[in-house]
C-alpha cells in the first residue's frame, strides 16, 4: 500500500516550458479525447424515471402502468432513492376508489401495487413538462431536495418510462401541456453532453409512441414504443369493481415478460422485444436501435430494469484513488515465483491499461493547462501560447516553401 503512493504534486510539471507543449498536445488530441472519454466509464449504477402524465380518474390505468413498472424495477433491485416516480394524480386515495390506498393492475386484485412502501417524488400539479425536463437535465433550483433529483453520472443506465395520452410527436401532460419529440430529444442530448448517462432506455406506452423518438440522435439511446405512427395503444381489460380499465396492453405484456424473471435471470433485451406480439398488443411495438451500439441479444434486461452489475472480486481492502496511478512501480515486489507467472497472465490487461493511459494523458495535460489558466499567470500562459502559435506558423510556412 505504502510503496505505491506517489504524492500528487510530483506529477506537476514546471509551468512555463510545459505549457507550450501542453497547448500543442491538447490542441491535437482534444478532439480524440472528447470522443473517447464518454464511452470510458463503466456501468456502475441504475436509475429509473417513471412518469404517469395523465390526470383524472378515468386514466387510472396510466397510474397502474407506472406503478407496475415501479414495482418491477424495485423487485429487480433498483432502490427507491434511485427511482424518480412522477404521478399526475392521486388514484389510490381518490374518493372514487372503492379500494382505499390500493391500486390494482388486474381484475383479480391479487397484487396491490400501492403497497406500504411507495415513495412518490413528484405528484399532482408538480408533474409538468418543465419539471420533467428539469429532472432529466438536472437543472433544479438549489433548494430542491436530493430525493427529487436524478443524480446519475456517466456510468448510469437509465430507464425512462412514460405513459399517458399522446399523438404524432407529442405526449400530453395533465391534459394541458405537451412534451414534443424535439423537447425529449433536446433533453436527452443535454444529458449526454453533461455525462448524465451511459445508456438510456426510453419506453413509452401511448398512442403513436414511435413518433416521439423520431428526433433522438444521441448515442447510447434505445427506445421502445407501444405503437407505430397512426396506431392507437389500447387498454387491456376493464375492472368492473373499480369501474375503469386498469392496465394498457403494451405494459401488460411487458409485465407478463418480467413476472417470469428474477434478479438473476439473464434474459436479453432482444427476448423482451420479440415477446411483443402485434396481434395481442393490437398495435405494433416499435424499437429504435440505430443509436445503440451493443448487440441486443447480449444485453440482459436487468441492465436497465434492475440493478445488476458485474462484481469484481478482490481479496484485499480498497486503497483509494492513488492505486490507479502506480504503473511505474516495479511489478514483482515479492520474490516468489508466483509473481513471475503473474506477469505473463497480466500481459494483456496491462497493455490495455497502457493504452488507456495514453488516452488519458491529454486529460492530464488539459488539466494542468486549465489549472494554469485559472491561476494568476493567465497572461503569461496566453502569451506563451501565442508565441508557440507564431513559431508553429513560421515553421509550417518554412516547411511548405
Partner 1 sequence: MAAHSRGHPAMREREFSPAGTSPYWWIRPCAGPILFLSLLFLFLFLFTAAAASAAAPEEEKFTEELLLRPLPDRKALAHFHFRSSAPPAASVGRHHHLFPKAISQLVKKYHISELELSFTQGRWNYEQWGGFDPMSTNNAKPPGVELWAVFDLPLSEIDATWKNLTHTLSGLFCASINFLESSTAFSAPRWGFKLNEGNLRYGALPREAVCTENLTPWLKLLPCRDKAGIASLLYRPSIYKGYYHSQKLKLRSSQSLGIILDQTLTVVLQPNTVSGEQLHSNHGQLQPNWSMRHLFNRKLSGKCLVSKSSRVFIEVDKGIVDNVNKSGSDLSWSNEFFVLSNSPDKLIKGQNHVEIQSSFLYVYDASNYTEEKPLDVGITWKLPLVWTCTPSPFHASRFLMGSGNERGSIALSFMSTNLHKQISGSPTDCSIKAVIFQVVPWYVKVYYHSLEIFIDGSRKTVSEVVDKIHVIPSEDKLLPGTLEMLLRFPCSMQSGTLTLDFDKGFLHIDEYPPDANQGFDIPSALVSFPEFSSARSYPEIDPVLGSPLLENFQEDSVVKSYTEVLLVPLTTPDFSMPYNVITFTCTVLALYFGSLLNALRRRIGEEERELKKTVVILKKWQLLASILYRKFVDELF
Pick one of 7, 240, 260, 313: the residue that binds partner 1 (CB under 8 A).
313
Give the nearest distance from C-beta 44 to partner 1 in angstroms.
4
Is 140 part of the annotated catalytic residue set?
no
Quick one: 226 or 303, whose CB is closer to partner 1?
A: 303
Q: Are 97 and 144 in contact (CB under 8 A)?
A: no
Does the footprint of partner 1 cover residue 183 (CB under 8 A)?
no
Per DSSP (E only), the strands in 118-243 are 122-123, 156-163, 166-167, 170-173, 177-180, 199-205, 221-225, 235-239
Give the nearest distance from C-beta 144 to partner 1 in angstroms.
6
Does the footprint of partner 1 cover residue 342 (CB under 8 A)?
yes
Does the footprint of partner 1 cover residue 126 (CB under 8 A)?
yes
- The angle, 0 to 180 degrees and rounded to 10, between the axes of the packed helices 15-40 and 337-374 is 110
Does the footprint of partner 1 cover residue 339 (CB under 8 A)?
yes
Does the footprint of partner 1 cover residue 57 (CB under 8 A)?
no
Give the nearest distance from C-beta 274 to partner 1 in angstroms.
31
Does the footprint of partner 1 cover residue 345 (CB under 8 A)?
yes
Does the footprint of partner 1 cover residue 4 (CB under 8 A)?
yes
Scanning 241-377, the segments in alpha helix (DSSP H) are 249-259, 269-274, 278-281, 302-305, 337-374
Does the footprint of partner 1 cover residue 323 (CB under 8 A)?
yes
Give the β-pairing of 156-163 and 199-205. Answer: parallel
3-state secondary structure of 127: coil
Quick one: 45 or 377, whose CB is closer to partner 1?
A: 45
Does the footprint of partner 1 cover residue 322 (CB under 8 A)?
yes
Cα–Cα nearest to 211, from 269, 274, 283 = 283
Quick one: 231 or 239, whose CB is closer to partner 1?
A: 239
Pick one of 151, 280, 291, 360: the residue that binds partner 1 (CB under 8 A).
360
Distance CA 340, CA 329 (A): 15
Residue 355, C-beta contacts closer than 8 angstroms, at least 6 positions apart: none
Distance CA 211, CA 225 (A): 9
Give the nearest distance from C-beta 11 to partner 1 in angstroms.
14
Distance CA 352, CA 78 (A): 32
Give the nearest distance from C-beta 237 to partner 1 in angstroms.
23
Distance CA 376, CA 238 (A): 70
Does the footprint of partner 1 cover residue 28 (CB under 8 A)?
no
Cα 166 to chain center, whole Å? 24
Give the nearest distance from C-beta 353 to partner 1 in angstroms.
8
Q: Are 114 and 68 in contact (CB under 8 A)?
A: no
Stretch that binds partner 1, among 95-103, 198-206, 243-251, 274-282 (CB under 8 A): 95-103
Does the footprint of partner 1 cover residue 119 (CB under 8 A)?
yes
Cα–Cα nearest to 158, from 47, 69, 269 = 47
Is 13 part of the annotated catalytic residue set?
no
Please give the grid coordinates belonging to residue 73. Answer: 424495477
Give the β-pairing of 166-167 and 286-288. Answer: unpaired
Does the footprint of partner 1 cover residue 324 (CB under 8 A)?
yes
Size of the site for partner 1 (CB under 8 A): 70
Pick one of 13, 57, 90, 238: the residue that binds partner 1 (CB under 8 A).
90
Does the footprint of partner 1 cover residue 14 (CB under 8 A)?
no
Quick one: 123 or 229, whose CB is closer to partner 1?
A: 123
Residue 190, C-beta contacts closer than 8 angstroms, at least 6 positions apart: 136, 137
Give the nearest distance from C-beta 163 to partner 1 in angstroms.
17
Does the footprint of partner 1 cover residue 178 (CB under 8 A)?
no
Pick one of 14, 110, 141, 279: the residue that binds partner 1 (CB under 8 A).
141
Distance CA 391, CA 364 (A): 24
Distance CA 134, CA 44 (A): 23
Does the footprint of partner 1 cover residue 315 (CB under 8 A)?
yes
Which residues carry out catalysis?
165, 207
> Applying CB under 8 A, which residues contact partner 1?
1, 3-4, 41-42, 44-45, 55-56, 90, 92-94, 99-102, 114-121, 123-126, 141, 143-148, 155, 174-177, 311-324, 326-327, 329, 331, 333-334, 338-339, 342, 345-346, 349, 353, 356, 360
Amino acid at each position: 500500500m505504502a510503496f505505491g503512493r506517489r504524492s500528487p504534486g510530483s506529477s506537476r510539471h514546471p509551468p512555463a516550458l510545459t505549457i507550450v507543449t501542453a497547448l500543442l498536445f491538447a490542441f491535437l488530441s482534444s478532439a480524440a479525447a472528447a470522443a473517447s472519454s464518454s464511452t470510458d466509464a463503466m456501468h456502475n449504477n441504475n436509475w429509473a424515471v417513471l412518469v404517469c402524465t395523465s390526470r383524472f380518474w378515468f386514466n387510472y390505468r396510466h397510474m397502474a402502468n407506472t406503478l407496475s413498472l415501479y414495482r418491477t424495477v424495485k423487485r429487480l433491485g433498483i432502490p427507491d432513492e434511485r427511482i424518480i416516480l412522477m404521478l399526475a394524480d392521486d388514484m389510490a386515495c381518490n374518493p372514487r376508489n372503492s379500494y382505499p390506498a390500493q391500486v390494482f393492475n388486474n381484475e383479480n386484485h391479487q397484487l396491490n401495487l400501492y403497497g406500504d412502501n411507495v415513495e412518490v417524488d413528484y405528484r399532482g400539479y408538480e408533474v409538468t413538462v418543465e419539471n420533467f425536463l428539469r429532472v432529466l437535465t438536472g437543472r433544479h433550483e438549489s433548494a430542491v431536495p436530493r430525493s427529487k433529483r436524478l443524480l446519475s453520472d456517466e456510468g448510469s443506465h437509465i430507464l425512462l418510462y412514460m405513459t399517458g395520452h399522446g399523438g404524432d410527436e407529442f405526449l400530453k401532460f395533465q391534459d394541458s401541456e405537451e412534451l414534443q419529440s424535439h423537447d425529449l430529444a433536446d433533453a436527452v442530448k443535454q444529458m449526454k453532453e453533461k455525462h448524465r448517462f451511459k445508456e438510456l432506455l426510453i419506453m413509452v406506452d401511448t398512442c403513436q409512441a414511435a413518433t416521439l423518438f423520431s428526433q433522438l440522435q444521441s448515442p447510447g439511446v434505445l427506445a421502445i414504443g407501444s405503437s407505430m405512427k397512426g396506431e392507437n395503444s389500447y387498454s387491456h381489460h376493464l375492472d368492473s369493481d373499480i369501474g375503469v380499465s386498469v392496465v394498457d396492453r403494451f405494459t401488460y405484456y411487458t409485465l407478463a415478460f418480467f413476472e417470469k424473471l428474477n434478479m438473476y435471470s439473464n434474459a436479453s433485451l432482444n427476448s423482451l422485444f420479440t415477446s411483443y406480439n402485434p396481434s395481442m398488443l393490437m398495435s405494433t411495438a416499435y424499437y429504435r436501435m440505430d443509436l445503440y451500439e451493443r448487440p441486443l441479444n447480449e444485453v440482459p434486461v436487468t441492465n436497465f430494469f434492475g440493478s445488476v452489475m458485474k462484481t469484481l472480486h478482490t481479496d484485499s481492502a480498497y486503497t483509494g484513488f492513488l492505486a490507479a496511478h502506480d504503473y511505474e512501480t516495479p511489478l514483482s515486489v515479492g520474490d516468489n515465483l508466483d509473481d513471475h507467472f503473474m506477469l505473463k497472465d497480466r500481459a494483456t490487461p496491462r497493455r490495455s491499461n497502457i493504452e488507456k493511459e495514453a488516452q488519458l494523458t491529454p486529460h492530464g495535460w488539459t488539466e494542468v493547462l486549465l489549472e494554469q489558466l485559472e491561476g494568476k499567470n493567465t497572461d503569461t500562459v496566453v502569451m506563451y501560447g501565442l508565441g508557440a502559435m507564431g513559431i508553429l506558423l513560421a515553421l509550417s510556412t518554412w516547411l511548405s516553401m
